[in-house]
Amino acid sequence: MANKVPRGPLIVGGGLVYAGACALAFSVFNSGNKDVKETNQHLQAHREKDPNFSFVSDPCRACRFQNVANKYDKEIGRDESVMGINVLRRSLLYFHAKGLVLEVGAGTGRNVDYYPSSVNRVVLMDLSDKMLAEARKKLYKDQKPQFACVVGDSTSLDFPDDSFDSVVDTFGLCSYDDPVAVLKEMSRVCKPDGKILLLEHGRSKTWDSITQYLDRNAERHAKNWGCVWNRDLDSILETAGLRPEKLTTWHFGTTYYVVCKPSDITQTQVRTQAMPL
């Protein structure tokens, strides 16, 4: 059983996180009716051609990130600030990231300001070149030479086994078609004594009303943002063979803060072709 994360380092942001969650929940639950109607219309149109169509399982779902890259930070920045997400990002990376770091699903580089100066190098990887273009702008503006950006597929990382001291994903497991495959690849490239660091959102196991809302609006959210926000993270972690050392949940159980050791079942996999670090 995973140990709970000590609340001491996070207590300062705790009040902000939960107060923000309440405020945001009120806003979310009382908005979006027009968007829901439009989503249902689009679904109906697609299902006239394919009765099984779903935005959640649409192969083009991840393409949404190409379309929203230039407005992504602006659109989600306010919500993350209100909910205290930045506090959780900073805590996860400041206390646990070390050495050579790989961040998959790095997007627009929303974590770049939260890595401690003690890390040696951070490789930011994302499948969307437009999202990474936004990250490069930040790195150039703030002169951060220890960072590098690489376009790549997180389900097939072009790095050798045991390459990184820390492997990070924040709010990315919701966007991958196969999150289990991504976690196994993260585990493969992580050193045996390294850490896998996750900050993710998924279905709540403690608040049924919240999870029901996520389920009802999963199609709308996937259509707009390429994000499947109601996945069962406990099941995904277990299927990937990961056993969290530290795990806590926030925002009524929908945000997971996880520190894992790499899975033993993937450490024996060998990849002979690799991208230079």
pLDDT at 94 (0 to 100): 97
pLDDT at 242 (0 to 100): 95
pLDDT at 196 (0 to 100): 98
Examine the pLDDT at 61 and tell me if it is beyond 50.
yes
More confident residue, 21 or 185: 185
pLDDT at 275 (0 to 100): 43
Burial of 255 (0-12, 13-18, 19+ CB in 10 A): buried
**pLDDT, mean of residues 225-231:** 91
Whether the Cβ atoms of residue 203 and residue 231 lie closer than 8 Å to each other: yes
Which amino acid is located at 117 in the chain? S
**pLDDT, mean of residues 74-103:** 95
**pLDDT, mean of residues 58-83:** 86
Examine the pLDDT at 1 and tell me if it is beyond 60.
no
Q: Tell me phi and psi for residue 102, to 5 degrees.
A: -115, 125
pLDDT at 7 (0 to 100): 58
Burial of 180-217, coded b for 16+ CB within 10 Å and e otherwise, reads: bebbbbbbbbbbeebbbbbbbbbbbeeeeebbebbeeb
pLDDT at 264 (0 to 100): 73
Residue 5 binned pLDDT confidence (cut-offs 50, 70, 90): low
Instruction: Check residue 23 and give left, alpha or beta (phi > 0: left; psi -120 to 50: alpha).
Output: alpha
More confident residue, 67 or 11: 67
- H or E segment to which residue 246 belongs: strand 244-250
What is the overall mean pLDDT for the chain? Answer: 85
pLDDT at 60 (0 to 100): 76
pLDDT at 99 (0 to 100): 98
Residue 273 binned pLDDT confidence (cut-offs 50, 70, 90): very low
Nearest to 70 by CA among 127, 137, 126, 10: 137
Q: Is the dihedral of CA 128, 130, 171, 10 positive or negative?
A: positive
pLDDT at 131 (0 to 100): 96
> Within a 10 A sphere around the Cβ of 27, how many other Cβ atoms?
12
Whether the Cβ atoms of residue 222 and residue 56 lie closer than 8 Å to each other: yes
Nearest to 114 by CA among 133, 149, 134, 138: 138
Instruction: Check residue 162 and give left, alpha or beta (phi > 0: left; psi -120 to 50: alpha).
Output: left
Tens digits of residue pLDDT in 127-140: 999 999 999 999 99
CA distances 22 to 9, 54, 163, 216, 230, Å, are: 22, 30, 41, 19, 19
pLDDT at 62 (0 to 100): 72
pLDDT at 138 (0 to 100): 95
Indicate the SS3 state at residue 190. strand
pLDDT at 26 (0 to 100): 42
> Within a 10 A sphere around the Cβ of 41, how many other Cβ atoms?
10
pLDDT at 271 (0 to 100): 42
Q: What is the pTM of this model?
A: 0.82
Tens digits of residue pLDDT in 172-227: 999 999 999 999 999 999 999 999 999 999 999 999 999 999 999 999 988 888 89
